[in-house]
Amino acid sequence: MALSEVFQTTFFLTLLSLRTYQSEVLAEHLPLTPVSLNVSSNSAHQSLHLQWTVQNLLYHQELKMVFQIQISRIETSNVIWVGNYSTTVKWNQVLHWSWESELPLECATHFVRIKSAVDDARFHEPNFWSNWSSWEEVNVQDSLGQDILFVFPKDKLVEEGANVTICYVSRNIQNNVSCYWEGKQIYGEQLDPHVSVFHLSSVPFIRKTGADVYCEVSQGSVSKGIKGIVLFVSKVLEEPKDFSCETQDFKTLHCTWDPGVDTALGWSKQPSQSYTLFESFSGEKKLCTHKNWCNWQITQDSQETYNLTLIAENYLRKRSVNILFNLTHRVYPMNPFSVNFENVNATNAKMTWKVHSMKKDFTYLCQIELYGEGKMMQYNVSIKVNGEYFLSELEPATEYMAQVRCADASHFRKWSQWSGQNFTTLEAAPSEAPDVWRNVNSEPGSHIVTLFWKPLSKWHAKGKILFYNVVVENLDKLSRPELHSVPAPAKITKLTLDQRSYRIWVTASNSVGTSPASVIVISADPENQEVEEERIADTEGGFSLSWKPQPGDVVGYVVDWCDHPQYTLCDLQWKNVGPNATSTVISTDAFRPGVRYNFRIYGLSTKRIACLLEKKTGYSQELAPSDNPHVLVDKLTSHSFTLSWKYYSTESQPGFIQGYHVYLKSKARQCHPRFEKAILSDGSECCKYKIDNPEEKALIVDNLKPKSFYEFFVTPFTSAGEGPNATFTKVTTPDEHSSMLIYILLPMFFCFLLIMIVCYLKSQWIKETCYPDIPDPYKSSILSLIKFKEKPHLTIMNVSDCIPDAIEVVSKPEGTKIQFRKSLTETELTKPNYLYLLPTEKNYSGPGPFICFENLTYNQAASDSGSCGHVPVPLKLPPSQLGLMISPENVQKALEKNYMNSLGEISAGETSLNYVSQLALPMSGDKDSLPTNPVEPPHCSEYKRQMAVPLCLASPSPTENTSLSSITLLNPGEHYH
């Protein structure tokens, strides 16, 4: 039995060793040759697919083998690729291998052969390659069809930057083929007479609809057709960036990433890249529907660690990113909600909020931010579910905004979003007295007190100030204090007080209470205005003021000024300074260059009485004068003149006037004494005189030449410069001799005047001496008597009634004195003119002989009526005057009054020549009817001679109106009018 077992064992071992030996021998000696090589092509992928088996493998034998593959193009000898392929080969296994060609397979015939060798470690013998298989030919061209032209590869999809080889196959070599890439012709190499190849290197992305390569077949100039391909160039798929996942509720992981460029192409050639989430611990996978976020459902409560991979994929490439994390470290809490404020008062409030429930024992760390009054306060608090925080030290009547956010207290990762709410604290009583100042204007019997106060700051007002209380208490007389309530936001009130001392309290009130009072006392004595004003200059930071301390106890000093002194409402400002200070700096943005600011410094006594200590005035920046003075020239002589500008105001200038510059131009090259040479802005030379005293507003310019031309210009100057440029005023000095003439002529004139006065005073004596009076026979009383008897009804003769028909020379005495009437131009044309030659006897009262000329010739009304001008018009007098004229006395009086002045004296007896009218004189003794009867306008009469007639014939006829003429005494030149 044992022997048989030993035998069996020995047999099996022998058999096994034999078997092993046999296989080794077979492997070593029987060549393992690849057989049944089959090559197929895939035009779309431009690949050759090889499949083969290995001959001589034992049953169930596995060997590592290496296969060498050779690929030739066009002909077998043109090997274009050689490569090895190693794999483990099993018995009867069909092996597959692919090779991608850069050249489209349709463009050339390819040949493939293969050989193999054992590459197993169990064989120590050197490897022996098997023999090559026979060449397998791959020719796709034969299956193309009968078209005249083909372009390959068809609609290829490549990545940006790839190299692409394109070829065309032309059936007819006679045809001319031109190929274009994006509109530009490309040139390639000819593989054979039918095939040409083009290499496009590093193709760019052009558009989603692809870039076209097309070839045009033509015979001569005739196009036979176009064939082309669309080369779809995809952008390179990018790796997703910023991939992260977090949870807000331990139920869902929200993962986000930046996808980068979209690699989608048109014509459905390539869709947008897809994104997939893969979790390695659970092995779960999820295809994401959005390109930049994806939600992952947390299914197992026990899983705390996650290994998530995000895979981005398109047709050409796959990219992935991976994160490994603990779920509890990726908590991003949801926003707190129901934020409220409870028990809000003036300074405190309680803030409450809620948070979403998470896992058991989850603790939130919450952060509170409180915004108010331009400040931000931050508080942190840990809570479970409901949060609350007591906000203290708040400001009254202030709007606050409080917001809260929370995070995982155990593993802080990220704050939630803020949740906030506004609230306003309640008001409190104002905490400080208003800052009050006053301005007192003393008027006879009263003080006009204007009270100013500054609004309380929000800090001190502690609410909305509703009104200000002004209480006025008379200190000199026991009386009930007066209360004035001024509604806010007024900052000023005016009080009219008598000239007694008053104490004024000012308080501010809001809805809760009243502030402490500000006290000011108005003294009965008028304010001391006799304080000398001192000039100050602005320093860099403002006006630096200093003053002598007020003797006695002071509670402080007040400096007041106007921000806008040029306006009526000058915006009074004041500054309180402590009792120990004797200087301060007034600085404000309101100060403007060229504006004069006046500062008053008051000392406040312990009784709250303000006492004016000092006055200061200055400019924040002095400017040059804005205008020049209006200069008057007087005392102009041949050698000098005086310039004066006394009305020029130095106070209203944008700087302190320091003096004046007087510029003088003359033809002389040398400047006058006291003047110095100066160059003007236009380059011209002139002489300049400087007046350093601003109040000296006159200048005598002397040492001038007579009859010379001078130009001057006066301009003030400040520390900033002179006034504006203006034109020079011209002055010409008079001739030197003209003044001498005045010296001669004036005395002569006075001498002449003296002689004239003497002559006038002694005129009677001179007259009697040189020209004694000639007696007038008509003035003889005898003559009067005779005439009275002959013509008792002596009337005024109307010369116009005379019709001269003869001239009778009566006598021609020497020394005839006739004073002609005034010329016609001097007479008043609108009224009939009566010229009377009256007796010289003043006391004559009865009717007597006299000559009366009624000048009706030059009546304006008559000429206007269309007549020819010599038309007498009726005398039109007011009835009252008419009535007076009716009686001879009245007539005479009136005539004397109205006309004697113009006529002077004339004596009837002196008439040496009488002109007698050639027309018949209608005689009438009715004197009453003369001036009243109307006279009809005559027929046209161009000219009527006028003659002097003897007095006997001078009898007017009031009724005759058909032919009127006048008698007048004419100058030789007065015949025509």
Residue from 99, 180, 341, 418 touching another protein (CB under 8 A): that is 180
Site string for another protein, 364-393 (x = CB under 8 A): ------------------------------
Distances from the Cα of 720 to the Cαs of 626, 657, 738, in angstroms?
Answer: 11, 10, 45
DSSP 34: E
Residue from 74, 80, 206, 409 touching another protein (CB under 8 A): that is 206
Residue from 19, 96, 154, 707 touching another protein (CB under 8 A): that is 154
Taking CB under 8 A as the binding criterion, the range among 137-145, 228-236, 428-436, 484-492 that sits at the site for another protein is 228-236
- When asked if residue 67 is in the footprint of another protein (CB under 8 A), the reply is no
Question: How many CA atoms lie less than 13 Å away from 768 in the CB half-sphere?
Answer: 3
Residue from 105, 114, 177, 230 touching another protein (CB under 8 A): that is 230
Residue from 24, 75, 137, 155 touching another protein (CB under 8 A): that is 155
Number of residues lying near another protein (CB under 8 A): 28
Residue from 119, 120, 159, 182 touching another protein (CB under 8 A): that is 182
Question: How many CA atoms lie less than 13 Å away from 315 in the CB half-sphere?
Answer: 17
Greatest Cα-to-Cα distance within the chain, rounded to the nearest angstrom = 233
Cβ 392 to another protein, closest distance in Å? Answer: 58
Q: Which residues contact 469 (CB under 8 A, 6 or more apart)?
A: 483, 484, 485, 486, 505, 506, 507, 508, 509, 514
State how far the Cα of 33 lies from the Cα of 352, in Å rounded to an integer.
86
Cβ 257 to another protein, closest distance in Å? Answer: 25
Q: Which token pair is 829?
A: 């044309």
Question: How many CA atoms lie less than 13 Å away from 480 in the CB half-sphere?
Answer: 3
Query: Is the separation of the CB atoms in 801 and 957 below 8 Å?
Result: yes
Residue from 57, 211, 472, 948 touching another protein (CB under 8 A): that is 211
Residue from 199, 269, 484, 608 touching another protein (CB under 8 A): that is 269
- When asked if residue 226 is in the footprint of another protein (CB under 8 A), the reply is yes
Residue from 19, 122, 207, 767 touching another protein (CB under 8 A): that is 207
State how far the Cα of 528 lies from the Cα of 612, in Å rounded to an integer.
6
Cβ 225 to another protein, closest distance in Å? Answer: 5
Q: Which residues contact 427 (CB under 8 A, 6 or more apart)?
A: 346, 396, 397, 462, 463, 464, 510, 511, 512
Nearer residue to another protein within complex by CB, 122 or 154: 154
- When asked if residue 106 is in the footprint of another protein (CB under 8 A), the reply is no
Length of the chain: 977
- CB neighbourhood size of 293 (10 A): 14
Nearer residue to another protein within complex by CB, 149 or 906: 149
Query: Is the separation of the CB atoms in 500 and 474 below 8 Å?
Result: yes
DSSP 783: H
Cβ 232 to another protein, closest distance in Å? Answer: 8
- When asked if residue 572 is in the footprint of another protein (CB under 8 A), the reply is no
- When asked if residue 232 is in the footprint of another protein (CB under 8 A), the reply is yes
Q: Are strands 364-372 and 399-408 parallel, antiparallel or unpaired?
A: antiparallel
Q: Which token pair is 414?
A: 């990220």
- When asked if residue 246 is in the footprint of another protein (CB under 8 A), the reply is no
Distances from the Cα of 393 to the Cαs of 344, 387, 390, 427, in angstroms?
Answer: 12, 20, 10, 14
Nearest to 158 by CA among 316, 267, 268, 266: 316
- When asked if residue 486 is in the footprint of another protein (CB under 8 A), the reply is no
Cβ 267 to another protein, closest distance in Å? Answer: 5
Taking CB under 8 A as the binding criterion, the range among 124-132, 225-233, 294-302, 640-648 that sits at the site for another protein is 225-233
Cβ 333 to another protein, closest distance in Å? Answer: 39
Cβ 266 to another protein, closest distance in Å? Answer: 4
Preceding amide of 804 cis, omega within 30: no
Cβ 229 to another protein, closest distance in Å? Answer: 5
Taking CB under 8 A as the binding criterion, the range among 223-231, 292-300, 642-650, 828-836 that sits at the site for another protein is 223-231
Nearer residue to another protein within complex by CB, 66 or 206: 206
Residue from 90, 199, 224, 356 touching another protein (CB under 8 A): that is 224
Cβ 278 to another protein, closest distance in Å? Answer: 30
- When asked if residue 160 is in the footprint of another protein (CB under 8 A), the reply is no
Preceding amide of 489 cis, omega within 30: yes
- When asked if residue 216 is in the footprint of another protein (CB under 8 A), the reply is yes
Q: Which token pair is 559?
A: 């400096």
DSSP 798: -
Taking CB under 8 A as the binding criterion, the range among 96-104, 111-119, 149-157, 756-764 that sits at the site for another protein is 149-157
Helix, strand or coil, per DSSP, at residue 487: strand
Taking CB under 8 A as the binding criterion, the range among 208-216, 462-470, 568-576, 593-601 that sits at the site for another protein is 208-216
Quote helix, strand, coil % in the chain, to nearest 5.
15, 40, 45
State how far the Cα of 611 lies from the Cα of 551, in Å rounded to an integer.
11
Question: Where do contacts with another protein occur on this chain (CB under 8 A)?
Answer: 151, 154-155, 180, 182-183, 206-212, 214, 216, 223-230, 232, 266-269
